[in-house]
Structures are given as C-alpha cells and as structure tokens.
Amino acid sequence: MAEKKLDKKPDKKKSQSDTLRKVFRCLGKYRIFVVFSILLAAVSVALTLYIPKLTGYAVDHIVGPGQVDLPGALKVMLQIGVCTLVTALAQWLMNVCNNKMTYQVVQDIRNEAFRKIEILPLRYIDGHPYGEVVSRVIADVDQFADGLLMGFTQLFTGIATIIGTFGFMLSVNVKITFVVVLITPVSFFVANFIAKRTFTMFRQQSEIRGEQTGLIDEMIGSQKVVQTFGMGEKVTEEFDRVNEKLGKAYLRATFFSSITNPATRFVNSLVYTGVGITGAFAVVNGSLTVGQLSSFLSYANQYTKPFNEISGVVTEFQNAVACAQRIFDLIEEEPQKPEAPDAVELKDVRGNVKVQDVSFSYVPGQRLIRDFNLEVKPGQRIAIVGPTGCGKTTLINLLMRFYDVDAGSIKVEGIDIRDLTRRSLRAGYGMVLQDTWLKTGTIRDNITMGRPDATEEEVIAAAKASHIHSFIRRLPKGYDTWITEDGGGLSQGQKQLLCIARVMLCRPPMLILDEATSSIDTRTELKIQAAFAELMEGRTTFIVAHRLSTIREADVILVMKDGQIIEQGDHESLLAKGGFYKHLYESQWSQAAG
C-alpha cells in the first residue's frame, strides 16, 4: 500500500485573525440574519434583566407581617409572566436565525470545497490520503459548525447581558456596581490567556484526526490485500499508534481548555461574595432596600455568568477556527492550471497526435520522461511496453492532460493540447484501465456514463460486444440492478467488462487501453480482443501492455526505459533487432513455459 505524504505543517505566522476574516466574509451573504439575531438577543436580554428588577419590587411589596401589598405584588407577577413569554419567543426566533445562518455558511463552504476538489490538480490528490481530504470536508466542517453555532447563540446574548446588567446595576447602586466591575474582568483575562494557548492544540488534534480518517479509509479499501498478506496485526498496531496519538492530543487540548471554566467560576464566586458583603452593609445603613439587594445579587450573578459562558465559547471557538483554517487551506489550494482564454474545442478528430521534445517529472529534480518524441497517424495502433516505472502510464496521463508537461508539447490535430478545452480533449479519448472505476447506481447508469442519452438498444449492443450481456440478464433486475462503487458482488473481470462496455457504447475517435483485459479469463479475452479489433478499426489506439503477447498486431511498438524510447518498430522488426524488446519478450515466454 503506497504511503502518501501528509500536508505540510501550517505556517506559524498564519494568524487566527486571517481565518476569522474569511469566516466573516462567508457570513456577509447572511448579514440580515446576523442583524436579526443581535436585535433578538438584545430584546431577550433586556427583558431577562428587567425581571430581577420586577422581582425586587415584588419583594418590597412583601416586607413583613401585616405589610403585604398583595394587589401590587400580583400586578408585578403578571408583568414578570409577560416578560418571560416574550423572552422565550425572542430566544426561539434568535435560535432559528442562528441555525439558518450557520448551516447556510456550512453548506456554502462544503460546496466551495467540493468544487475546489473538482479542479485541483491530480498532483494534489495523488499526494494526499483520500481520507484526510474527506476529514476536512466532513469532520472539520462539522466541528466548525458546532463552534460557530455556539458562538452565535451565546456570544451575542453574553455581550448584551454584560452591557445590560451593567446599566441596571448602575441604576440601583453605583458603588456596588464598581465592586463587580473591578473583579469580573479577571475571569475574562484568564479565559483569554488559556484560549490563546489551546488553538495550536486544537489544530494538531484536527490534523491527527485527518491522519486517522485517511488510515481507516485506506484500510477499508485495501482490506483484501491486508488479509491476503496477513498484515492485520501490523495495521492494528499502526491504528493503535495513531489512535493513541489522537487520544493524547484530545486530552491535552481538553485539559487545558477545561481549566477555563473552573477558573472563571472561582472569580465569579468572589464577585458574588463581594456584592453580598457590601450590599448587606448598605441595607444596614439604609442606603439599599432588601428588594434592591435581591435584585443586585441576581444582576451580579447574571453579569458574571456570561463571562463564564463566553470563556467556554472562546474555547470551543478555538477548535472551530482551527478546523476552519484547515478547510480554508483546502479551498485556497492552487487549482489546476486554468484553460487558455482562447482555448478551442477539439472537433473533427481523426487521430493525429504529435509528442515533441517532452520532458516531465512528478518530483522536481527527478526527471522521469526526457526529450520524448512521437508522431502518430490516424488509425495507428501504438503499443507502449517496458519495465515497471519506465513512464508508460505517465505518458497516458500526459496525453489526457491529467498532468501538464514540464517542457515540449503534445499536439492533437496540430493543436497544442494546452490550447484545447480539457473537456473536448478528454471526450476525444475512450479509456479502459487495469483499475476499474464504477459509481453507485444501476448497471445501466455505469454503462451510459459517457452517453447518458443512449437508447436501450445501443446499451444492449455495447454489452453484447463486451460479452457481459448474458451475465447482466441473470442479475435480479437485469440492467436496473443496483451496485455500489466497489462493484458489490461483481468479480474483477465482470467490473472490467462493464468498463469496456462503457467505451464500446461511446465509440470515441481515439482509444487508450491500459491492460484492459488483465482481469478477464483467456476465453473471454480472445472474444474481447476480437471486439476491440473491430472497435480499433480506423481509430488511433494507445495500448499499454505488460503481456507482450497482446500487442503483436500493433502497427508501432514503443519500447520505453527510464523515460525514453529506446526501440521502435513492429513486433517482427523488433525481434529481428535482438535488442531490449526481444529480451523482454523471450523472458515472458520462458516464465510462461516454466
């Protein structure tokens, strides 16, 4: 199983403020919900804070035996009831706005991330574990959504509560208000101090979670290989190692972030104690009534509570921002080189292909293909052979423009493929690979992928040509049988026949066959070769072959080694030369005979 390199470590100079600016930019489309949320938070807080004042009035209406003003107390209680109902409605509407805003932003980010994946160069996809990319789009966005929702729900309310309680406390007693104000900010500084140090921990946690997702994805996809080679124990050890590393990262981040809550609660208790002591003296001195002290204690509790909640929000928000940074890193990845502004559509394809002085490397400094030249005429069958790693599949990647050449040019019908639209270039090729690719859907959906408008008769004809029609008929629902992306109960050969049927249906002007019959039994292969022979008639065809017996009829055989063509000719002429091709051919026959 090939190991793919993980993301490079994030630049430490990348500040949270940059990520926050991007988040606020995403929120810009939904500013109306932000405005409504703030207004509703203000209404909710104002009424919530007015209730303790009404409670104080009620207490003052009931100050002792024989001094109870029951009508006045009932009137106040009715006002409290109305305020409570309106507050509940405002909070419900605020939550609706926050949910709508949050999940619209999340939807936009996921759409943008998915669109970016569609235009990322294959160099990026090949260089990152698939599970790690999935983790960014799914897990990290979910974590971001949770933090954002908590932030909107509690941050607006918390800030409004702090401002509102401060105003109400001033209206009751200025001196005691300053006792509260002087002590309370300490909790905010404590929370801020811890939060700054937990951001890096949450970022590391997200990265390890992505590594774990990538490992799980790889193991599930390669489970047959794992079991075949008895690698289960080693894979389990690797998973345990990553899982333990993730557990330590979780514990570290959670431990430091959880310090925030008890630290702020301790400060809040000091505030409450200070208000209780100074308020009691004020009541004794006659400068404060019992009802006012009751209101003040309630306000002091409400004033300190948001600091505690905001500290929790800040901690959660650190995690959300760390996750947001990872998803924005993906969104901001350099896309594949855009098409030229004057890119043209490839039309009237006859099959003229010219490769001129092409050089290419996957890794800078490690050149794979050097000074490659090839001219193909319409209808020619070009076989590409050579040892593993010589550049056969790389040449196919360059012809399809999955990768751009580092130097030189590839022309189709006399036009540099960099001046063509990618869609029209790739539509000119039909490709059958050794590795099959199916999508979740019906058998018919998989055959008609290149031609969704094909008729039933055309689909059946393509299936018959690829010798899979009789098998499909035996399935429970025939062509409407549902299969998953891994083919479900289909054998590797049957999956490959489906991919061949897909090309048979499209009948493109040029073909690329990369070990197209590698998983098919010999009898069926002979029939498929006959069908391919009919399909290849008049079409330019590139055949990547490991079994040299399959390419004897090729018009031109290119023998590649170390990224260069070292021999070129038809089967008989290459054997007559007695060079590298003859050595490859005879070694395969001797292995077969052995």
Is 580 or 264 the better-scoring residue by pLDDT? 580
| % of the chain beyond a pLDDT of 70 | 86
Nearest to 329 by CA among 196, 148, 139, 136: 136
Question: Listing from the earlier edge strand, what are the strands of the sheet with 429-432?
Answer: 429-432, 510-514, 540-544, 381-385, 556-561, 564-569
What pLDDT is attached to residue 298? 77
What is the β-pairing status of strands 556-561 and 381-385? Answer: parallel
Give the H or E element holding residue 590.
helix 580-593
Instruction: Tell me what the mean pLDDT of segment 560-566 comes to.
Output: 80
Contact 430, 508 (CB under 8 A): yes
296 neighbors 169 (Cβ within 8 angstroms): yes
Domains and CATH numbers, the chain: 19-331 (1.20.1560.10), 353-593 (3.40.50.300)
The amino acid present at 8, given as its one-letter code, is K
Question: What percent of the chain has a predicted confidence (pLDDT) above 90?
Answer: 4
Average pLDDT over residues 77-89: 88
User: Is pLDDT above 50 for 5?
Assistant: no
Tokens (6 digits) for 19: 């990520």
Best-predicted range by mean pLDDT among 316-330, 399-413, 430-444?
399-413
Nearest in space to 91 (alpha carbons), one of 141, 37, 10, 33: 37
pLDDT digits (tens, 9 = 90+) for 177-216: 777 777 766 766 766 676 666 767 777 777 788 788 777 7
Rounded-to-integer distance, Cα 538 and Cα 349, Å: 12
Residues 243-262 pLDDT 10s: 888 888 878 877 777 776 67
Cβ neighbors of 593 (< 8 A, separation 6 or more) are none
In this predicted model, what pLDDT tens digit does every residue of 372-386 receive, in sequence order? 888 888 888 888 888
Q: Is the pLDDT of residue 550 over 80?
A: no
Instruction: Please check the confidence at residue 588 and state whether its pLDDT lies above 70.
Output: no
Calculate mean pLDDT across residues 533-548: 79
Is the per-residue pLDDT at 580 higher than 80?
Answer: yes
**How far does CA 476 lie from the centroid of its chain?**
36
* Per-residue pLDDT, 4: 40
The reported pTM is 0.64
Evaluate if residue 6 carries a pLDDT over 60: no
pLDDT band at 388 (very low <50, low <70, confident <90, very high): confident
Q: What gap in Å lies between CA 466 and CA 455, rounded to an integer? A: 17
- CB contact at 8 A, 256 and 198: yes
Task: For 120-149, write each residue's pLDDT tens digit.
Answer: 888 888 777 777 788 888 888 888 888 777
Contact 156, 37 (CB under 8 A): yes
| Rounded Cα gap, residues 592 and 570, in angstroms | 22
Condensed to tens digits (0 to 9), the pLDDT of residues 500-523 reads 888 888 888 898 888 766 666 777
Q: Is 490 exposed, middle or buried (0-12, 13-18, 19+ CB in 10 A)?
A: buried
Contact (CB, 8 A) for 301 and 276: no
Average pLDDT over residues 427-433: 84
CB 498 within 8 A of CB 525: no
- At 89 the pLDDT is 92
Residue count of the chain, please give it: 594
Question: Is residue 242 predicted with pLDDT exceeding 70?
Answer: yes
pLDDT at 266 over 80: no
The residue written with tokens 């490991």 in the block is 546
Structure confidence by residue, pLDDT tens digits, 469-480 = 888 898 888 899
Nearest by Cα to 207 from 259, 150, 131: 131
pLDDT attached to residue 137 = 85
Q: Is the pLDDT of residue 7 over 70?
A: no
Q: How far apart are CA 551 and CA 274, in angstroms?
A: 92
Mean pLDDT of 44-48: 82
Could you tell me how far CA 177 lies from the centroid of its own chain?
50
Give the mean pLDDT of the chain.
79
Those residues with Cβ within 8 angstroms of residue 204's Cβ, 6 or more apart along the chain or in another chain: 249, 253
- What does the pLDDT read at residue 548? 67
DSSP 78-128: HHHHHHHHHHHHHHHHHHHHHHHHHHHHHHHHHHHHHHHHHHS-HHHHHTS
Contact 580, 566 (CB under 8 A): yes
pLDDT of residue 12: 41
Q: Give per-residue pLDDT as tens, 91-101.
A: 899 888 888 88
State the pLDDT at residue 163: 81
The encoded tokens of residue 529 equal: 């070769």
pLDDT of residue 10: 46
pLDDT range class, residue 460, cuts 50, 70, 90: very high
